[in-house]
Amino acid sequence: MEKEKFYITTPIYYPSDKLHIGHSYCTVATDTMARYKRLRGYDVMFLTGTDEHGQKIERIANSQNMTPKQYTDKVVTGIKELWDTLCISYDKFIRTTDDYHVKTVQKIFKQLYDQGDIYKSAYEGWYCTPCESFFTEHQLVDGKCPDCGRDVELLKEESYFFRLSKYQDRIIKYMEENPEFLQPNTRQNEMINNFLKPGLEDLAVSRTSFKWGVPVEFDPGHIVYVWVDALSNYITALGYGTEDDSLFQKFWPADVHVVGKEIVRFHAIIWPAMLMALHLPLPKQIFGHGWLVINGGKMSKSVGNVVDPNVLVNKYGVDAIRYFLLREIAFGQDGNFTNEALIQRINSDLANDLGNLVSRTAGMIEKYFDGQLPETHTATAFDAELQEMAKTTVANVETAMEKMFFSDALIEIWNLVRRTNKYIDETQPWILCKDESKKAELANALYHVAESIRIISVLITPFMPNTPAKMRVQFCIEEGEATTWESTKTWGVLPKALKAVKGETLFPRIDMKKELAELDAAIKASQATSIANQQKKEEPKHNEPEYPAEITIDDFCKVQLKVGEVIESAEVKGSKKLLRNIVKFGEEERVIFSGIKGTYAPGELVGKRVVVAYNLKPRKMMGEMSYGMILCAEDGDGKLSILTTADENFASGSGIS
C-alpha cells in the first residue's frame, strides 16, 4: 500500500552567522513533528532553507567587503552545521539563490502579471528595512515599525502591485470555513479582525532601490519583493513550474507550515492570496508558534541577549536541549528561557526520572539475575494498572502530537516514566529478591519495568534522537519489531528471558549552584565574542578614523550655505514629522521639506531666517521634490532647534562664510 504523504516546512531563515536558541526552537519543533510522522509510517518531506535576498543582506555583505552571494555562502554553511548539531533531519534545504528557485519565481511573477493579478503603479509608504516590509502611516506605532519598533523610512518608487485586495473576502471565507487552517485558533481571530476585516490594500511586490534579489524578468530594473520570493520557496522546492514537478504533484498542498507568530500575517494572508491567484490549493495548516523570550523580551542579536545553542549542546547534549525546548514551552505560546529552568528540567525529568529508571532497572536485572531474567514470571497485583497506563499514554501522545502540542505529549510520556518508577516502589524488588520463592514475581516486576522502558524509548524517539538507542542497548533491544510505533500498543513484546547490561548514565545530575555560574559565564563569553565579531565587521575599513575625518577649506566650500526666509510652512498629509516650507532666497522661492514638525508648529517658522544647505542634490519626498535642507541643531535626545541669524531681519539669499 502506498504510504500517506506528509509535507512540513520551517520558515526559511535569514542568513545570519549567529542563529540563536530561539531560531533553533522552531526548527527543533518541526523536526520533531517530521520524525513523529516518519515513525508513524508517513512518507515525509521536511523542507527548510535560507531566505537570502533583500536590502538588509546587501548592506551586511557590503559592510563586510563581500558580494551578497559570498556572504550568504559563508553563513549558510554555518546554518547547516547548526542543524546537524541539533539533529535536524530535513529532506531538502532550499536557498532562494538556487537557480531553479529564481527561475520559478520569475515565472510566477510573469504569470500573475499576464493574468492581471500584478499591475504597475507607484508606491509611497513607510519601509522597515530589517523587516523588509512596507507600512501605511496608520500602521506605524509611534512612528516606528509595528513589528520590530525600529525606524522606518519614507519611500516612493515605481512598483508592481499584487491585487491582494481582490482576495480578501475569499480568504476570510476560507478561514471561517476551515477553522483548522490557522493554529492556534486565537491567531485566526487576530488575522480576521486586525488585518482582513479592516481591508487589505494591494501589495507592492517589486523594488527598484537595490539590486540583490530576483529580477523581474520583463522589467529587470525591478526586484521581486522579498516575501513573494521567499514564500514561493514552499512550492519551488518541490519543482513547481519545472519539467519535473513530480514532488509537487505528490506533496502539495503542504500539511503544515510551522512559523513564528510575527510572520503568521505573511503566511495566512499573502501566501493564500498568491496561491489562489495561481489556482493552487492552500496549505492545510499554518501553525504560528510563540517566542522564546529572555526576561520577557525577544532574544535578539542587537540586544545582545542571544543564547548560542552550541554552548548548550556542548554542555548538556542535544537531546536534553531538544527536550527542554519542547517541554518547557507550550507550543503556540511564548516561554521564558532561563538557565535555572534548563538545569532544573535536566536534573528532575531527565537525570532523576528517566535516567534513574533505566539505570536502576538494568542494574537490578544484573544484580538479581546475573543479567538475564528467567523464563518463568508470576504476575503481581500492580501489573494491570501499569499496562493500562502505557496504553492510554500512547493514545494521549498521539492526540497531542496530531495537534502539535509537544509539551502535552511529553507530560504524558513523563507521567508514564513516573508511574513506572512508582511501580518499582510498589513491587519492591529489593524485598522480593530476599525470598527465593518470590523470584518469579521479581522477574515479572523487572520485566514489566523493562517493557515500559521499551515503550517510553519509542515514544520519545521524535523528541530525542540519541537517547532511545542508549536506553535499548541496556536491555539488548534491537531496532525492529520492538521499536516501531505500533509495537507500543502491544504489551509483552520483549522476550521473557530478557538480558540487561547496565550502560552509560543517560543524563548525569548537575550541581545546580556550580553549574549556574559556569553556564552563565559560557553564555556571556559567547555573547561577548558575537558582539566583538559584529563590531569588528562594522569597524571602519582601512585607515578610516572613528571620528569624522578632517576636511580642507576647499571641501568645506563645496557646501553652499545660504540664509533663507520661511514664507510658508504647512503640514504634510500622511506625515508625522515633515513640514513643507517655502523658503525665499532673495527673489527665488524653493520648496524645502524638513522633519521638524515635532518641534515646530507650521506657523511658528514663518518669517524666520533659517540656514539652508543650498546646493544639496534635490530629493523627492512625499511625492514632491525638496530643494535643500534647513539646518538644525540636535541634542543627544533628538530635540531639534533650527539655526537662524542673530539679526532677525538679515537679508534672505545671503551667503554664509
Judged by CB under 6 A, which of 291, 406, 463, 627 binds ligand MSP? 291
Q: Which residues of 464-499 are buried (b: 16+ CB within 10 A; e: fewer)?
A: bbebbebbbebbbbeeeebbbbeebeebebbeeebb
Q: Is 260 in the site for ligand MSP (CB under 6 A)?
A: yes
Contact 191, 182 (CB under 8 A): yes
Q: CA 431 to CA 381: how far, in whole Å?
A: 15
Question: Which residue in the set 76, 94, 196, 231 belongs to the binding site for ligand MSP (CB under 6 A)?
Answer: 231
Among 81, 262, 385, 634, which residue sits at the site for ligand MSP (rule: CB under 6 A)?
A: 262
Does 33 sit near ligand MSP (CB under 6 A)? Answer: no
**Residue 372 DSSP class:** B
**6, 7, 14, 251: which one contacts ligand MSP (CB under 6 A)?**
14
Residue 259 makes contact with ligand MSP by CB under 6 A: yes
Q: Which residues of 101-129 are buried (b: 16+ CB within 10 A; e: fewer)?
A: bbebbbbbbeebbeeebbeeeebbbbbbb
Per-residue binding letters, 455-484, with ligand MSP (x by CB under 6 A) = ------------------------------
Q: How far is the CB of 95 from ligand MSP (least distance, A)?
A: 12
Grid cell in block for residue 378: 508470576
442 binds ligand MSP (CB under 6 A): no
- Choose, by CB under 6 A, the member of 7, 8, 11, 181 that binds ligand MSP: 11
Region from 10-18, 138-146, 245-253, 576-584 binding ligand MSP, contact rule CB under 6 A: 10-18
Considering only 117-125, 226-234, 490-498, 500-508, which stretch makes contact with ligand MSP by CB under 6 A? 226-234
Nearest to 267 by CA among 11, 1, 52: 11
Q: Which of 626, 514, 505, 633 is nearest to 575 (CA)?
A: 626
Stretches 136-144, 202-210, 259-267, 402-410: which one binds ligand MSP (CB under 6 A)?
259-267
Residue 507: other Cβ atoms inside 10 A: 23
User: Does residue 576 belong to the site contacting ligand MSP (CB under 6 A)?
Assistant: no
Grouping H, G, I as helix, E, B as strand and the rest as coil, residue 294 is strand
**Could you say whether residue 213 binds ligand MSP (CB under 6 A)?**
no
Asked whether 43 and 79 are in contact (CB, 8 A), the reply is no
Contact stretch for ligand MSP (CB under 6 A) within 168-176, 257-265, 570-578, 632-640: 257-265
**Under the criterion CB under 6 A, does residue 342 sit at the interface with ligand MSP?**
no
CA distances from residue 403 to 185, 398, 603 in whole angstroms, order as listed: 12, 9, 60
C-alpha cell at 413: 510520556
By the rule CB under 6 A, 263 interacts with ligand MSP: yes
Shortest distance, CB of residue 511 to ligand MSP, whole angstroms? 29
Scanning 272-280, 291-299, 477-485, 541-549 for contacts with ligand MSP by CB under 6 A, the matching segment is: 291-299
Grid coordinates standing for 97? Answer: 539563490
- Which SS3 state, helix, strand or coil, does residue 496 take? coil
Q: What are phi and psi of 5, to 5 degrees?
A: -95, 155
Q: Is 25 in the site for ligand MSP (CB under 6 A)?
A: yes
Strand partners, 157: 123
**How near is the Cβ of 105 to ligand MSP at its closest, in Å?**
12
292 binds ligand MSP (CB under 6 A): yes
Beta strand 223-224 pairing with 206-207: antiparallel
Helix/strand number for the chain, H first, E second: 23, 24
The site for ligand MSP (CB under 6 A) is made up of 11-14, 22-23, 25-26, 51, 230-231, 233, 259-260, 262-263, 291-292, 298-299
